[in-house]
Each structure stands twice: as C-alpha cells, then as structure tokens.
Chain A
C-alpha cells in the first residue's frame, strides 16, 4: 500500500469509528455523545482505536459516565476491523476507577465493586422510558398548539402523525422500550403501550411535559458547562 492509500484507510476507519459513536447516547439527555461533544478525541492507528471522553463536570454521576464509556467501547469493538480499542474518560472524579475497569473489561460490577449491586439495565430502562415520554409530549403538544383539544389526543394514532423528525424520534424511542409502531396504534400511551382514560389526559400531558422540560433543561446545563469547562463555542438552541 502507498502512503496515500494508508491515509485513505485511516480516514475511512476514523469516519467509521465516529459514525459508530453516533449510536452511543447519554441516557439522561437522550442525545448522542458525539452531538454533545463528549468525545474529546478519536485516533486510529492501524487497527487500534483510542478514544478520550469528557463530561461537563468532574462530578457527573459515575453510573451514567460508565454507561457511556462502556457503550463507546462496545460499538468500537463491534466494528469488524478493530483490534485493540481503548476508551478513557478524562477529568472525572472516578476516571481512574472507570478507566481501569474498561481496560480490563471488568464489567460494571468488576469496576465498581461494593458500590454496584446487579447491573445498570434498570437505570437504562428508566431513562429510555423518560425519553419516550418526552418525545411523545413534543408530538402531542404540537397538535394542541395547532388547535387539537387535549381530550381528543387519546384518539391520535401513529398513522395520523406527519412524516418528520419529531415523529421519527418518537418511533425510535417507542422501539427502544419495546413498543410496536403499527399505524393503528395510539400515540398517547404509557410505557407499556396502554392508553389513558380520557379524563386523565390533561394530567398525563402535564406530567409528560414536566419530563420533557426536565430533560431539555439538563441538556442546557450540560452543554453550557462543557463549553465553559473546555472553552468551546456554545450554541444556544
């Protein structure tokens, strides 16, 4: 291979690695770690990948930090060409602990010892459900703003929704918590897919709204703090 071919191969692999990381989501914020700028650097040397992650504060919750870092390692290891994958979390109060655990593939319990009980699947599910609630609220509130009455929202089905980003976001979040996406299915449902009684719709919409606002607020905090901490340009959405 020539030097140019080599470079091309590295560039292609680097792009693939970044694209793989797009699938890793901050569970609390429901956004990819690449969009959040949590990936500080990504280097490909041959078939080895070294990734450094960073978070908005030293005191971000270590369970979420570990989830993102171990998910990042998993998606890179899953690429067919990778040989050695190193993921390190920088500047966190648990950096040493988490990085040792990742390097040794020690798993969650092996990394955190007595502080871990079973696994992080329940934590992940809690936030997947919140993400579904928020995505659902966005779609429903848009209908209300366009003139729908809250009392009628129970009749809205997936087939009624426009084919756009907000709908696609909702469908992805439904799939993530195991809900089917057939056209005839109702949109305004709880995490098991059950509809609410009409009398409960106003309260359920308010509850969903507070979930959406909470998630969005955390995203504001995290983006702002990360930008300040690492002197990045901040984009206010």
Chain B
C-alpha cells in the first residue's frame, strides 16, 4: 500500500518477471542482444538513482525481487508474466521453477502466470492442460515475437492459436496478456499490427485481453480496437516510465487511454526488473496533466487508485482491504417507491 496526502492506494504490479540472462544461460548472441536491449530501456528511462549495474541486471533472484517489490516498492500484489525465449536462453528467460515456487510460498503477494506458444501443436496443448493444473493458472502471457525453429513470430488468430485460446477458456485461464513484439512473418506487413487482438477479442468474449505497452508502438490502432471490444485492456508496462523522462508525452498517452478506453481498463505495471515499482508508483500518484494540454481532463485520485491496483485486483479476484476499495457505483433503481 502507498499513502500520500491522506489518500491510500492499493498497488497491483500486473507485469513482473524473474529472469536469468547471465552469460552461462545465453544460448547465442541473441540472448545477449535481448538483455542488452532491455538494459538500454532501463538505463534510458530510469532516474539516475534507480539505474542498476549491468551485472545485477542480468539476474535479480527471488530475494531481491521480494525486497524491491514488497519491502520498498509499495506493491501489495504482483503478477508474473514470463517470456520463455527458448531460442535465446538455455534454461529460458523467465525462470519458471523459481518464480512459481516463490508465488507458491507467497500466495497473498504473488500470482504466477505462465506462457504458451501455439507452434508446439498438440504436445503444447497437453502441456498447457498440465500447467493449468500445476500452477492453478488464472492468466497467461503471450509473446508473439518469440522465435521457434525457422519461424520468427505468430499471430493470435492463427488456427493453432485458436485451439489454445479455446483450451484456456475451458480451463478458466481468463486473463490473456499480450506482448506485441516485432512479429516477423510475413515481413510484408507491419510487425506490430494489433488487428489479431481484435479478432480474438470478438471470438473469445469470456477472456480478458490485456495488451501490454498499451499497444505501443501502435497506440492508435490499439485504442480503436479497445473502444470496440469491452474485453480489451491496456497494460502500462513500458509506457509509464516516460513519466520521468518525458512527462508531457506520458500525459498524452494516459490522456488518450482515458479518452478511448476509460479508467476501468488500464493496469499499472513496472515490468520489473525492466524498472522498479517504487519510483513509478510515487511519480504516478504525484502526476498531473500539464495545463497546456487543455484537450485532456485532469487525473482524479479515484482514477489513479483504479489504475494503480483496483482494476487488476478486480480482474484477478485479489482481495482488497475494505478501506482501500472505492465505493462501487451500483445501478440506480428507477422510480423507487
């Protein structure tokens, strides 16, 4: 929980990772390129005081994660969203065993989401059923730019992807987090296109689709889709650190999101360990739309409370202490006698 100026905020960090990118786990040059890319994001967008040394950034470990999130990070609950990256890392990038064990040891604080890749066909479907049981999955993270053999990406509306989403719906894996990376095939088209989210959101109305990075670099396409599809949500991972380096630009992103999809479908996430949550939470609570951007309404405390935790808590049935809840607007009865 975070408190400021007499207001309390229940914090859910909806996108965290426990990764291992140390050289001994790198399968090839791409393993190094990938973590170096993350590290540049980290260095470029973090305040100087929050920048980690490269060596520490390669692997953070469970103990540090618990400290950064729950001891100093104001976070009440966090959700693992692992990327497998089996083509880049010997034992994968997201550490399944370590992260899921941590979540098992701290069920009040951590939720473990797993990942799937529809290119594993029947065998992967079988695995998904086992994983759902083993981890008691409520959600999954899908990274569409994952490499697999000679394929360098997939689309949510591929036929095999539909099979997996059908299985997820049946297994009660309701929350599908999507990271639109640069999907390569076919190269003829925009690698960041989010049109496939539109299709699956229409066809799987029982599922929630949380588009990470709020669709960036295609914010405009994402906003339009989210306006049409009530089960499409925005994750703020990667967008929110702009609050430090380019606050005016962040104001425009959050202003657009609030305009197009509203305050109930936006989720805070630090993308730990890309960034640490403490400063992001503190800055967001202090944040206000600059007056010069008159086209956007000022942010309210209630909007911040929803975005920082209440929205994701509702999606994941995470219990929120009564004093941190917002009074829910009950439908008004008409013509009460």
Contact = CB atoms under 8 A, between A and B. Distances in A.
B104 interface: no
B44 A227 contact: yes
Given A220-B246, A224-B44, A211 B220 contact: yes
Given A28-B217, A217-B217, A224-B245, A116 B188 contact: yes
A59 B146 CA distance: 12
Given A214-B217, A216-B249, A59 B182 contact: yes
Contacts of A108: 187
Main secondary structure of the interface of A (DSSP, over half): helix
B188 A122 contact: yes
B102 to A, nearest CB: 28
Interface stretch (B28-36, B91-99, B272-280): B28-36
A213 B253 contact: yes
B253 A57 contact: no
A228 B46 CA distance: 12
B253 A217 contact: yes
B242 interface: yes
B224 interface: yes
Contacts of A114: 150
B129 interface: no
A61 interface: yes
Contact of B219 (A61, A122, A214): A214
Contact of B190 (A126, A209, A214, A217): A126
Interface in B316-335: none
B37 A224 contact: no
Counting contact residues on chain A (CB < 8 A from B), the size range is 35 or more
B40 interface: yes
Contacts of A58: 30, 33-34, 36-37
B299 interface: no
Given A114-B150, A225-B44, A236-B246, A214 B220 contact: yes
A131 to B, nearest CB: 12
Interface in B170-220: 181-182, 184-192, 216-220
A214 B182 contact: no
B184 to A, nearest CB: 6
Nearest to B42: A228
Given A207-B224, A209-B256, A217-B217, A61 B182 contact: yes
Given A115-B152, A224-B45, A236-B245, A214 B191 contact: no
B25 interface: no
Interface of A: 28, 56-64, 66, 93, 108, 112, 114-120, 122-123, 126-127, 130, 141, 145, 206-207, 209-211, 213-214, 216-218, 220-221, 224-225, 227-229, 236
Given A59-B145, A63-B187, A227-B44, 11 more contacts: A28-B217, A61-B184, A61-B192, A116-B186, A122-B189, A207-B224, A213-B249, A218-B217, A220-B249, A221-B217, A224-B44
10 contacts: A57-B37, A61-B184, A62-B191, A115-B187, A126-B190, A210-B219, A214-B216, A214-B218, A225-B40, A227-B44
Interface of B: 29-30, 33-34, 36-37, 40-41, 43-45, 145, 150, 152, 181-182, 184-192, 216-220, 223-224, 242, 245-246, 249, 252-253, 256, 259-260, 294-295
Nearest 5 CB-CB pairings of A with B: A58-B33, A210-B220, A214-B219, A228-B44, A61-B182
